[in-house]
Amino acid sequence: MPYIGPDMSYSLPTEADGGAPQRVRPDIIFMPFGPMEEEPDIAVTKNGVGLTGSAAMGKVGSSFGLVDIGEFEDSYLFRVSLPGAARDERRFSCDIKPDGNILIKGVTTTGEKIVCRNFQIFKMQTQNLCPPGHFSISFQLPGPVDDQQISGGFGINGIFEGIVKKR
Q: What pLDDT, in 10s, does the model give residues 98-120?
A: 999 999 999 998 888 899 999 99
Clarify whether residues 39 and 98 are in a common domain.
no
Number of domains in the chain: 2
Range of the domain at 10: 1-60
Residue 39 to residue 42: CA distance in whole angstroms: 6
Clarify whether residues 86 and 54 are in a common domain.
no
Q: Which CA distances in Å does 116 have to 86, 111, 113, 119, 125?
A: 17, 13, 10, 7, 14
Clarify whether residues 101 and 148 are in a common domain.
yes
Q: Looking at residue 139, what is its pLDDT?
A: 95
What's the mean per-residue pLDDT of the chain? 77
Q: Looking at residue 11, what is its pLDDT?
A: 46
Cβ proximity of 76 and 166 under 8 Å:
yes
Clarify whether residues 30 and 85 are in a common domain.
no
Cβ proximity of 107 and 133 under 8 Å:
yes
Clarify whether residues 107 and 38 are in a common domain.
no
Q: What pLDDT, in 10s, does the model give residues 133-164?
A: 999 999 999 999 998 999 999 988 899 999 99
Residue 51 to residue 58: CA distance in whole angstroms: 10
Neighbours of 85 (CB within 10 A): 24
Q: Output the pTM of the full model.
A: 0.63
Clarify whether residues 118 and 152 are in a common domain.
yes
Clarify whether residues 90 and 110 are in a common domain.
yes
